[in-house]
Amino acid sequence: MYYNSILETIGNTPLVKLNAVPEDLEGTILAKVEYFNPGQSVKDRIGLKMIEDAEKEGLIEPGGTIIEGTSGNTGLGLALAAAVKGYKCIFTTTDKQSKEKIDLLRAMGAEVKVCPTDVEPDDPRSYYSVAKRLSEEISNSYYPNQYDNPSNAQAHYETTGPEIWDQTEGKITHYVAGMGTGGTISGTARYLKEQNPDIKIIGVDSDGSVYKKYFETGEFDKDEIHPYLTEGIGEDIIPKNMDFDILDEVVQVNDKNAFITTRRLAEEEALFVGGSCGAAVYGALEYARNNSFEKDDLMVVILPDSGTRYVGKIYNDEWMREKGFLESEN
């Protein structure tokens, strides 16, 4: 047996039980390990889906250019599909993203434009605005706009949700995922809720993002927005893919707790993952300890990407100490 291209290997990632990190919790916590995708992240799923849907709708022609604003992983998912299908790529990203992510995008043949993080979303310098402007200026280009593109959530409705349901034999009671564009949590949750409306959906947000307060009050409060270092989750906008109605709770996690948990996952579970994975697991544990989580409960947590993107940051003691996340030489 062989695959016709690397794109056919996307999906069907494993569920792995967390044994050490949950400590005294009675129920079962399983990690959906998305770095088994060929681009080492959950975003491979949506990169392929958004391009395939664009092709069906005639939004991009052969030899065209894909232009997207990305924190890195969606760009790599798009670049994988583009390389196989013969498209060029231009990606905009922010200056808070890891050097490894930018280098990976360039290694896949993409042109990368780094934009300032600390500007308003509608500022012409923001990575949202630059991507949109380039897509208007360059002919035969396609701007997927993962934040508002329904193919994003639909990819997870069609793949991630059914995989989790089948892998747990329908026994899942809790689903936990980070909240970035909203596609991973919303699409998967929609499928799972259709199978069993009693499944609890827990979103994990970053301290410095608008999501938690918006979920709890319906108010978009700009005062909630402040810089944070966790990549890939939290927002200063409300994307169309983020379905708040499907959530049961939102847990907010700060950078330090996210990164310390990320390193624990590597050291105690041999799961070499990224910072948003640590945030998701920390948020899952917080929820489980503060709510009813019993022996027969089964929680699935999405681990979106690989630690290879963060070797110079989260897995670097000097960087962690410089940011105040490690308090001693040990």
Per-domain boundaries in the chain: 6-36+150-322, 44-142
The CATH number of 44-142 is 3.40.50.1100
Q: What percent of the chain has pLDDT over 70?
A: 99
In whole angstroms, what separates CA 237 from the centre of its chain?
16
C-beta separation of 203 from 185 below 8 A: yes
List pLDDT tens digits, range 117-126. 889 888 999 9
pTM of the model: 0.94
Distances (CA, A) of 319 to 274, 311, 315, 327: 15, 10, 8, 12
pLDDT at 67 over 90: yes
Q: What percent of the chain has pLDDT over 90?
A: 94
List pLDDT tens digits, range 90-102. 999 999 888 888 9
User: In the β-sheet with 298-303, what is the strand arrangement from edge to edge?
Assistant: 15-17, 28-33, 298-303, 174-178, 200-206, 249-253
What's the pLDDT score for residue 329? 54
List pLDDT tens digits, range 25-35. 999 999 999 99
132 is an active site residue? no
- Mean pLDDT rounded to a whole number for the chain: 96
Catalytic residue from among 43, 49, 101, 200: 43
List pLDDT tens digits, range 247-273. 999 999 999 999 999 999 999 999 999
pLDDT at 16 over 90: yes
Neighbours of 1 (CB within 10 A): 2
C-beta separation of 205 from 253 below 8 A: yes
List pLDDT tens digits, range 172-225. 999 999 999 999 999 999 999 999 999 999 999 999 999 999 999 999 999 999
pLDDT at 71 over 90: no
Neighbours of 141 (CB within 10 A): 19
The CATH number of 6-36+150-322 is 3.40.50.1100
6-36+150-322 matches 44-142 in fold: yes
What's the pLDDT score for residue 299? 98
What's the pLDDT score for residue 93? 93
CA dist 30 and 305 (Å) reads 16
